[in-house]
């Protein structure tokens, strides 16, 4: 980050590239082609606010579907209007929402341990089976 002014964190092209996991050259190419129009010229180069960088639709679907996020998660979020792609690209905010959704889904799928009426967990035998 190149500093803060007016309460909004400012990011350089280098910092935005790091967040988007692309090269600075790619960010400059996107900027000059008009794909990303969030950067403003300042004395030391170009910068944008953190909110603008997080909202820019630059991530490919393949980078969204990494880790625990499934195609089904993405399809459901798009159908419900929680995530909207622009030219097949998504934002960091979209990615974070989908990761939180997948984490929630994963935590609900973990079965509760079976308890006896006493409230105690059953003891395991020597093989590790109840």
pLDDT digits (tens, 9 = 90+) for 58-76: 999 999 998 889 999 999 9
Handedness of CA 45, 48, 50, 55 (dihedral sign): negative
Residue 65 · residue 71 · CB < 8 Å: yes
- 113/35: higher pLDDT: 35
Q: What is the pTM of this model?
A: 0.71
Cα–Cα distance list, 53 to 89, 92, 108 (Å): 14, 8, 32
| Residue 11 to residue 16: CA distance in whole angstroms | 6
Res. 79: pLDDT tops 70 = yes
Binned at pLDDT 50, 70 and 90, residue 128 comes out as: very low
- Residue for token pair 């109840």: 130
* C-alpha–C-alpha distance, residues 127 and 38, integer Å: 60
Instruction: Give pLDDT, residue 30.
Output: 95
Summarised one tens digit per residue, pLDDT across range 25-45 is 999 999 999 999 999 999 999
Residue 33 corresponds to which tokens in the numbers above? 């082609």
pLDDT on residue 4: 43
Please tell me the predicted confidence (pLDDT) of residue 123: 52
More confident residue, 112 or 41: 41
């Amino acid at each position: 980050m190149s500093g803060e002014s007016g309460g909004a964190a400012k990011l350089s092209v280098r910092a935005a590239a790091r967040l988007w996991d692309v090269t600075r050259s790619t960010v400059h190419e996107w900027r000059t082609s008009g794909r990303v129009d969030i950067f403003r010229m300042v004395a030391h180069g170009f910068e944008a606010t953190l909110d603008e960088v997080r909202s820019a639709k630059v991530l490919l679907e393949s980078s969204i579907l990494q880790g625990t996020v499934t195609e089904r998660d993405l399809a459901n979020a798009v159908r419900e209007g929680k995530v909207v792609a622009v030219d097949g690209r998504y934002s960091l905010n979209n990615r974070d929402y989908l990761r939180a959704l997948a984490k929630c889904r994963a935590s609900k799928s973990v079965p509760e341990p079976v308890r006896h009426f006493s409230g105690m967990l059953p003891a395991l035998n020597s093989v590790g089976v109840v």
